[in-house]
Chains A and B, each alone.
Chain A
Amino acid sequence: MTMPHPDLVAVLGCLLAVLVLASAVGYVLQRRLSPDGSNAVVENLNDRIRAWWIMVVLMGLALIGGKTGVTLLFAFCSFAALREFITLTNTRRADHWALAAGFFIMLPVQYYLIWIEWYGLYSIFIPVYAFLLMPIVAAARGDTEHFLVRIAEVQWALMICVFCTSHVPALLSLDIPGYQGRNVLLIAFLVIVVQMSDVLQYVWGKLLGRTKIAPRLSPSKTVEGFIGGALSATAVGAALSWMTPFTPLQAAFLALVIVLMGFFGGLVMSAIKRDRGIKDWGHLIAGHGGFLDRLDSVVFSAPIFFHLVRYGWSTT
């Protein structure tokens, strides 16, 4: 294995420093406000910080592991997200083979295509081939009840959980002149901007939040939190331009696109959760809910970010 790029080491070092600081603040808050574990906000904050440690360590290891590490990590994220999504669908006995094919054929094939960097096929594999083949498998069982709803749900689940998510590791296949060997930093840029946007929107919302932005979808989101979070996350993106092939202005623009897609993606996923009468997608990450709760904004921004960078900067 080759040594990780110095820029990657610098980024991971910064993230660890931030986490150490966050843990210290969480510890002091807990001693002051919640010594017996009774303050729910502080306990939730500390749960979240602990989960952040795990996520940053996993993400860091994957980035250091390069293409293999990142592809395996996101393939697993896709699997866990798909498992959460399908749990909430109306699928019936007759969908069994279509679902098994989704998990054990479509998902591995999509990530294999990403791995061999076959852009022409991984871009259409799920939107065309899965789209046509899965309903055929379901129809073969002869159960027509809610048929359109069922096949639409399965296709939507594959698009969100597998197709969109797989565009994160696909960033490694871009060939940007003068940026060879540093593509993992594009992933770090995307993930940091998305997650900082979530955190900063939460913080600005807690500080200044007055006007609800979408009371029926997501009662905790406010206009003030959204604007403050989007602007400050855009600034974070500009400040991270040193690790990207972009100028600060370009980095700010891409960060803004990422933030907007992430925000509206979060609203879409909230609408689905509302529809199904649940608060969180799952229970795997303490303080965060399920994989999809943490992944929803990345999912919506990854394909757009990928294509913008591909058209604007890549030679492939």
Chain B
Amino acid sequence: MAGKRPQRAGWTRRDFFNWVLNVVMGIIAILVAIPALGVAITPAFQNPAPTWVNLGAATGLQQSSVQAGTGGVGTVVKAPYSYIEVDHWAKLPAADYAYLRYIGGSCQFFILSPICTHLGCHVNWIQADNQFHCPCHGSVYTIDGLNVSGPAPLPLGVFRWKMVGPDVWIARESTFTHAHQRMVEAPAQPCLKEA
């Protein structure tokens, strides 16, 4: 009834009821909004633990790396692995590979993620050039995974790893490269072996 509203003479009965109605509706709206928004923003607060996956026996891995190299020095070899990927509620069998190199000393293995830090393609190991080449946009990495050419903004990720009995296990992170991410000025071969 536009036009017939009473003159605003202080706090009228109608004003009071409007106020009560607005407050009650507001409370109901907030009660619905809190859990709804909580569900929507949950991913911002989730930081899933890494998945530890088995690469196989350390002696075998060491042997294949040394055999591929020259003069008893190990070089990069593909280390395939399969695991059960836990993606939120979904559990799926999955497979991927890591680039493993036997470096000797106390650190033994240097294990790189094959994921290009540019847009996520798998890089290829080119034995003749002693480099990793990305087939997508031509990024080039050294044997230590340092980005030396192309659009790649960061070095290749390095897997944290540990010995479980005779086997090498790597920590598959939920980050972009599935491995520990390095800055540009990071050391060439960080030792990420865990006790």
Whether both chains belong to one complex is answered with no
Q: Which residues of A contact B (CB under 8 A)?
A: none
Q: Which residues of B contact A (CB under 8 A)?
A: none
